[in-house]
Amino acid sequence: MALIVHKYGGTSVGTPEKIKNVAARVKSVRDAGNSVVVVVSAMGHTTDELIELMHQVTTDPDPREYDMLVSTGEQVSASLLAMALQSIGCPAISLTGGQAGVVTEDIYRKARIKEIKLDRLKKELKAGKVVVITGFQGVDSKGDIITIGRGGSDTSAVAVAAALKADVCDIYTDVDGVYTADPRIVPNAKKLKYISYEEMLELASLGAQVLHPRSVECASIYNMVIHLRHSQKPDEGTYIMSASQIEKMGGSKMEKQAAVRGIALDENIAKIGLLNVPDQPGTAAKIFGALALAKINVDMIVQSIHSDGSAADMAFTVDRPDVKKALDITEQIAKALNASKVVSDADVCKVSLVGIGMVSQPGTAAKMFETLAQEKINIQMITTSEIKISCVVKKELGKKAVQVLHAAFGLEKVA
Ligand code: ADP
Ligand code: ASP
Ligand code: MG
C-alpha cells in the first residue's frame, strides 16, 4: 500500500464535470489499496475573479483581508471534490490549510510554509478517508489565514507530500508534462521525460508557470520526485528529480549534451529607472536596502556611468504586482539622493535560456544575442549565471523571441 499525494490545478477542477472526473481517478487509486491525499486549487479562474471583485471595492486592499478573500476559492473546490468522492462511495473529508496543520510565516500574501502538523491528517487517513486539502493557504501563529503566493498550490502539495513522506507526488495540470518551452507559445516544443531540480527551479523562477518555483525548491530539499502530468490523460508526464536519479533512469546523456534545456518567458515584470544618481559608495545599498525591507524582490540590475563619472543611471526589474510600491519607495530614495528622475516601464518582458550544460559550452550567450539581433529584437538588460541567460526585451516581442531562440537552439529535436 502506497501513500499518494495528488494535486489538481485550476483548469483540472474547472467545472463540476471535471471535478467528477477527478473524483473517479482518485477513487480508482484508493480502490487499488492506496492512501490518498489530494491538494486542490480554486476552480478555473476563481482566484482572478476574487481579485477583480476586490478591486471593485478598494484600490488599496488590506493584506489580511486579501488573504481571507482569495483563500475562499480553494474551499469551494475542496468541499465539492470531497462531496463528489462521497457520492461515488469513496469516504472523503475536505480540510482547510489550517485544519490540515499547515503553519506559515506571519506574512500575508506570500508566506512560506514553516511546518505541517500531521496529527489530523494522519487521523483521517487512518480512518480510511481520502483527505482533500485546500492548496495555496495555511495559518500563521495568530491563527489568521495566510496565502503563500499565486500559483502556490503546487508548493502546498509538495510540502504535504514531503511531510507525510509520501511515496508519490503527482501534480496534475492541463499539459502533459514539462516542455522545452511553453507549448502555447512554441507548438513544436518537445516534452521532457526528466528534468533536474536545478533546471526546473530556474525555468519556474524565470516565468514558466507550469510549476510554482518553491514547490521545486521544497521537492529538492526533501528529495521528493514530482511527476507532472495531464489530469485528463493516463500517460506518463515529466519526472522532476535529482540529476543522479535521472542518471539512474538512463536519462543523463542527453542532458550533458544539450547546453540549453528550456526557454522561459516572464511577462509579469516591470522596469524601474533612476536617472542621475550620485556615483558613490552606498547609493545602491540605500535603494535596494529600502526595497528589501519592503519585501520587494528585485531581479535584474543595470548601472550605466555618465562619461564625466559624476553620476550614474540605474535600472532594475521587479514583479509587476510590486511596481506601485517599488515606485513609491524608489521616489522617496531618489529625493534623498538628489536623483533627477524616476521612470517606470511595464512594457517589458524577460526571455531566459536555462540549461546545466551551459557551464561547459561557451558561446550560448553570443548565439542568443545574435539570434535576437537578426530578428531586430533590441535587448534592454542582460543577466547571466552558470545555468541561465536572461534578456529583457519589449513585451510585444517576447513570444517571437522565444520562438526564434527555440528554433536557433534546435530544441524541438532534443530526446
Ligand atoms: P495549473 O492551473 O494546473 O496549476 P498552470 O496554468 O499554472 O496550471 O500551468 C500550466 C501551464 O503552464 C500550461 O498550460 C502551459 O501553457 C504553461 N507552461 C509554461 N511553460 C511551460 C513549459 N515549459 N512546459 C509546459 N507548460 C508550460
Ligand atoms: N488559486 C491560486 C492561484 O490562482 C493558487 C493556485 O492555483 O496554485 O494563484
Ligand atoms: Mg499553477
Cβ-Cβ contacts under 8 Å for 363 (sequence gap 6 or more)? none
The arithmetic mean of pLDDT across residues 14-36, rounded, is 98
The arithmetic mean of pLDDT across residues 94-100, rounded, is 98
Per-residue pLDDT, 253: 58
Which pLDDT band holds residue 255 (cuts at 50, 70, 90)? very low
What is the number of the ligand closest to the CA of 51? 2
Q: Where are the beta strands (DSSP E) in 174-213?
A: 194-196
Per-residue pLDDT, 321: 87
CB atoms within 10 A of CB 159: 29
| Residue 93 domain-assigned (yes or no) | yes
Per-residue pLDDT, 173: 97
Number of the ligand 1 atom closest to the C-alpha atom of 11: 2
Report CA(171)–ligand 3 centroid distance (Å). Answer: 10
Q: How many domains is the chain built from?
A: 1
Spell out which residues have Cβ within 5 A of ligand 3, the ion: 9, 151
Cβ-Cβ contacts under 8 Å for 404 (sequence gap 6 or more)? 371, 372, 374, 375, 377
The arithmetic mean of pLDDT across residues 17-36, rounded, is 98
Nearest residue to 7 (alpha-carbon basis) of 110, 140, 102, 136: 136
Per-residue pLDDT, 248: 86
| Residue 315 domain-assigned (yes or no) | no
| Residue 373 domain-assigned (yes or no) | no
Give the domain range for residue 130: 3-251
| Residue 234, SS3 per DSSP | coil
Which pLDDT band holds residue 340 (cuts at 50, 70, 90)? confident
The arithmetic mean of pLDDT across residues 328-351, rounded, is 93
Which pLDDT band holds residue 414 (cuts at 50, 70, 90)? confident
Q: What is the DSSP letter of 273?
A: E
| Residue 273 domain-assigned (yes or no) | no
What is the number of the ligand closest to the CA of 151? 2
Nearest residue to 132 (alpha-carbon basis) of 100, 155, 161: 100
Which pLDDT band holds residue 14 (cuts at 50, 70, 90)? very high
User: Looking at the predicted structure, is the pLDDT value of residue 258 above 90?
Assistant: no
- Closest-CA residue, ligand 2 atom 5, reads 151
Number of the ligand 2 atom closest to the C-alpha atom of 151: 8
What are the tens digits of pLDDT across the range 46-81? 999 999 999 999 988 999 999 999 999 999 999 999
CB atoms within 10 A of CB 72: 16
Any atom of ligand 1 within 6 Å of the Cβ of 209: yes
Report CA(157)–ligand 1 centroid distance (Å). Answer: 16
| Residue 64 domain-assigned (yes or no) | yes
CATH code: domain of residue 94: 3.40.1160.10
What are the tens digits of pLDDT across the range 371-413? 999 999 999 999 999 999 999 999 999 999 999 999 999 999 9
**47-61, 307-321, 337-351, range with the lowest pLDDT:** 307-321
Which residue did the predictor score with more confidence, 307 or 79?
79
The arithmetic mean of pLDDT across residues 96-119, rounded, is 97
From 41, 46, 76, 77, mutation site for ligand 2 pocket: most ligand atoms within 8 A of C-beta: 41
The arithmetic mean of pLDDT across residues 218-241, rounded, is 96
Per-residue pLDDT, 289: 95
Give the residue carrying C-alpha cell 508534462. Answer: 177
Residues contacting ligand 2 via CB (< 6 Å): 9-10, 41-42, 47, 73, 135-136, 150-153
- Alpha carbon 160 to chain centroid, angstroms: 17
Per-residue pLDDT, 241: 96
Q: What is the DSSP letter of 175?
A: S
Per-residue pLDDT, 39: 98
Which pLDDT band holds residue 415 (cuts at 50, 70, 90)? low
Number of the ligand 1 atom closest to the C-alpha atom of 179: 24
| Residue 372 domain-assigned (yes or no) | no
Which pLDDT band holds residue 238 (cuts at 50, 70, 90)? very high
327, 153, 207, 293 alpha-carbon torsion, rounded to 10°:
30
Per-residue pLDDT, 30: 97
| Residue 337 domain-assigned (yes or no) | no
The arithmetic mean of pLDDT across residues 209-222, rounded, is 97
Nearest residue to 287 (alpha-carbon basis) of 237, 339, 236: 339
| Residue 141 domain-assigned (yes or no) | yes
